[in-house]
Amino acid sequence: MSRPRVAVLMGGPDAEHEVSLASGTRVADALEAHGGWTVSRHVVDRPDAAALRDLAADVGADVVFPVLHGPFGEGGPLQEALEAARTPYVGSDSHASRRGMDKLESKRLARTCGVPTPAAIDLGREPAGRLEPPVVVKPVDEGSSVGVRLCRTAAAVEEARRDLAGRRLMLERLVPGRELTVGIVHGEVLPIVEVVPAEGFYDYEAKYHRDDTRYEVDPPLPSGIAESCRRHAMAIWNVVGCRDLARVDFMLDEEGPWFLEVNTMPGMTDHSLVPMAAERAGLSMRELCAVLVSAALRRGPTGSRGEAGPVERKLRQRR
């Protein structure tokens, strides 16, 4: 019997192109090391449904693993094209991808299910003065901290707005504290990871270029905080409609954890947090990628969230 054929897509037209190349390469390496697949690698730009159908036909792909980050690759358009091409793929469907990519929408959904999230406004619709500094200026639909600015004065907010002109921006109340992240694979919560930057905040440089950022898996936390983070992360997973995998980010202060954003295709580089947490839970990178591909194959070209089978049992046994 021939092995299933997996097409790993990477690159894309978004600002996180280089991160996607690193993530996609690591995913393809892991799948090849696993040995259960015939893996092909594809650096893409902005393929439409017809291009994806051609790609699937040319490589004979049984499933696509789209390891792209950003508005096109992670935010719905690529997922829509894969759905139109009737191609099974790893990750959340187009509707959940759009909700997750839009930070303001995901924060609105968080409030509907009682998950605390810092106050925020859409800078294109509301005056900046409605939220007093210190604040964070963020593009609404970017990841990897692309374009994020910490602003302690109104002048800094205006400077950030000028520098980031042309993007949809939001202003969010700054929550100083500890940065925590919760990975989820097929509805099972992975160990919490705390990110400790050497200086400043966890920006693009700290995530991908610096080697002095510390990561603590299962960090010591005040009583009840870990349980709150896990509960809130699962609430976000469900209200957004995530599928296969996601990462939910929080800031922790004396009041408790505050939801910041959800990533429906989190990074898979050697600095990335979901593979790190999965490793602690007993899932190697090879196993993690294999269970994600297996679930997509079983699901086929449908909208079902599906299940991964053995991964849930393995994670539950290690609790």
pTM: 0.90
Q: What is the pLDDT along the chain (319 residues), one digit of tens a residue?
A: 578 899 999 998 888 899 999 999 999 999 999 988 999 999 999 888 888 888 877 778 899 999 999 899 999 999 999 999 899 999 999 999 999 999 999 999 999 999 999 999 999 888 888 899 999 999 998 765 677 889 999 999 999 888 888 888 999 999 999 999 999 999 999 999 999 986 655 444 544 445 678 899 999 999 999 999 999 999 999 999 999 999 999 999 999 999 999 999 999 998 899 999 999 999 999 999 999 999 999 998 866 665 555 555 556 555 4
Q: Are 289 and 65 in contact (CB under 8 A)?
A: yes
Q: Are 70 and 15 in contact (CB under 8 A)?
A: yes
Q: Are 139 and 131 in contact (CB under 8 A)?
A: no
Helix, strand, or coil (residue 159): helix
Active-site residue flag, 238: no
Residue at token pair 């610096």:
210
Catalytic residue among 11, 12, 16, 70: 16
pLDDT at residue 94, rounded to an integer: 95
Catalytic residue among 267, 272, 299, 306: 267
Active-site residue flag, 261: yes
CA dihedral in degrees (183, 272, 120, 253; nearest 10)? Answer: 70
Catalytic residue among 145, 263, 272, 294: 263
**Of all helices (H) and strands (E), which one includes residue 29?**
helix 17-34
CA 144 to chain centre: 9
Catalytic residue among 23, 92, 97, 144: 144
Query: In whole angstroms, how far apart are CA 71 and each of 26, 250, 277, 295?
Result: 21, 21, 25, 24
Catalytic residue among 100, 149, 261, 299: 261
Catalytic residue among 26, 149, 247, 299: 247
Active-site residue flag, 249: yes
Geometric angle at alpha carbon 72, from 21 and 261, rounded to 5°: 90
Count of CB atoms within 10 A of residue 270's CB? 12
Q: Are 68 and 15 in contact (CB under 8 A)?
A: no
Residue at token pair 């591909």:
293
d(CA 275, CA 267): 9
End-to-end CA distance of the chain, in Å? 36
Torsion sign across C-alpha atoms 278, 281, 285, 286: negative
d(CA 281, CA 317): 9
Q: Can you list the domains of the chain with their CATH numbers?
A: 120-173 (3.30.1490.20)
Residue at token pair 């968080």:
110
Catalytic residue among 100, 208, 243, 244: 208
From 50, 92, 55, select the one nearest 73 (Cα to Cα): 92
Active-site residue flag, 80: no
Catalytic residue among 249, 272, 299, 306: 249
